[in-house]
Amino acid sequence: MLDITLQEIEQATEEIHSVMLPTPQLNWPIISHYAGCETWVKHENHTPVGAFKVRGGLVYLSNLKRNHPDIEGVVTATRGNHGQSIGYAAKRLGLKATIVVPYGNSFEKNAAMRALGVNVVEQGIDFQGAVEHAQFLSEERGLHRIRSFERDLVLGVSTYSYELFNAVADLDTVYVPIGMGSGICGMIAARDAMNLKTKIVGVVTQGAPAYALSFAKGVPVSTEQAQTIADGLACRIPDPQALAMILKGAERVVTVSDEAILTAIRLFFTATHNVAEGAGAAALAALLQDRGRYKGKKVGIVLSGGNIDIPLFQRALQAKPLR
């Protein structure tokens, strides 16, 4: 466990709010209708990089620069949003950032990272391949390597949960997508620090079920591949520290299909005119899968990001509508 305190979360929240406004949490009537309960959407698609990850990048690099003022460059691996968060924070602090992405990564996310001034390196057939190359570059060039799961990343992203819990009282359950685990672990940390009883449900996809398999077994379970339209959830090797926190703090980890995610992307757009990426729509897909389970209760879902490629968004708009 990371043992993040309420005071740390409050201080991190102040730091985040000095850079960006709190993101909204909104109750959309059509979403609530289809979910069968009062549903609150945490709009992390409204951050400066269009995803929740920016909070972790800001806190992590701020603390890194404070503790190591002579540092010049960092390296990390990503499918996009983590890389944008590091790029955004690095630019603010005058640091050089090298971001490794797998071949075939989102064109739009690569372009967004390059626009922040980062050096985007394509290497590896999947996220794990990019991780391994980031480690190589760290050793070869003497760059500080940032893993996808770090304490200060979790502390930073816990601030969106802190905002949500302060704004909406008596949430019975919150659904959170799981990539490498920082988002759900930040949610667990905030809930526990605030002494709340809200249940937390993690969401992964059928094509990238590593965390669901690991939760069921109680130990890390890797998969040979992670094939999903939700690139932010394409994990095949769980982080042991993240899994330990999820095992202790989550009620369930559920899987959803890519088809369900496409339907949820469409519903977000038609009901709210917000654009969700695959990972950002996973929580809604899971709640729709559990429709009727929370009648008369308040439920939160995290729209973790809105950075979706145009062809995939067009495909989602053609998905079968809900009835």
Give pLDDT tens digits for 8-66.
Answer: 999 999 999 999 999 999 999 999 999 999 999 999 999 999 999 999 999 999 999 99
Question: What pTM did the predictor assign?
Answer: 0.95
Given a cut of 90, whether residue 225 has pLDDT beyond it is no
Assess contact for 281 and 258: CB atoms under 8 A: no
Return the number of other C-beta atoms located less than 10 Å from residue 90's C-beta: 25
What are the residues whose beta carbons fall under 8 Å from the beta carbon of 266, sequence distance 6 or more? 316, 317, 319, 321
The pLDDT value recorded for residue 28 is: 98
| Residues paired with 43 in a beta bridge | 303
Query: Going by DSSP bridges, is the β-strand pair 96-101/119-122 parallel, antiparallel, or unpaired?
Result: parallel
What are the residues whose beta carbons fall under 8 Å from the beta carbon of 245, sequence distance 6 or more? 1, 2, 181, 185, 188, 189
Domains of the chain listed by start with CATH number? 6-51+151-317 (3.40.50.1100), 53-146 (3.40.50.1100)
Q: Please state, in angstroms and rounded to a whole number, the distance separating the CA atoms of residues 4 and 162.
A: 12
The structure tokens 């009537």 sit at 29
Mean pLDDT of the chain: 96
The pLDDT value recorded for residue 8 is: 98
Given a cut of 90, whether residue 121 has pLDDT beyond it is yes
Query: Which structure tokens are listed for 127?
Result: 């996220």
Residues of the chain with pLDDT > 70, as a percent, come to 100
The pLDDT value recorded for residue 107 is: 87
The pLDDT value recorded for residue 72 is: 87
pLDDT band at 322, cuts 50/70/90? Answer: confident
Query: Going by DSSP bridges, is the β-strand pair 298-303/38-43 parallel, antiparallel, or unpaired?
Result: parallel
Q: Please state, in angstroms and rounded to a whole number, the distance separating the CA atoms of residues 62 and 56.
A: 10
The dihedral built from the CA positions of residue 306, 240, 161 and 41, taken in this order, carries a sign that is positive
Given a cut of 80, whether residue 323 has pLDDT beyond it is no
Q: Which of 69-83, 101-115, 121-135, 148-162 has the highest mean pLDDT?
A: 148-162
| Residues paired with 176 in a beta bridge | 202
The pLDDT value recorded for residue 55 is: 98
The pLDDT value recorded for residue 63 is: 96
Query: Going by DSSP bridges, is the β-strand pair 173-177/199-205 parallel, antiparallel, or unpaired?
Result: parallel
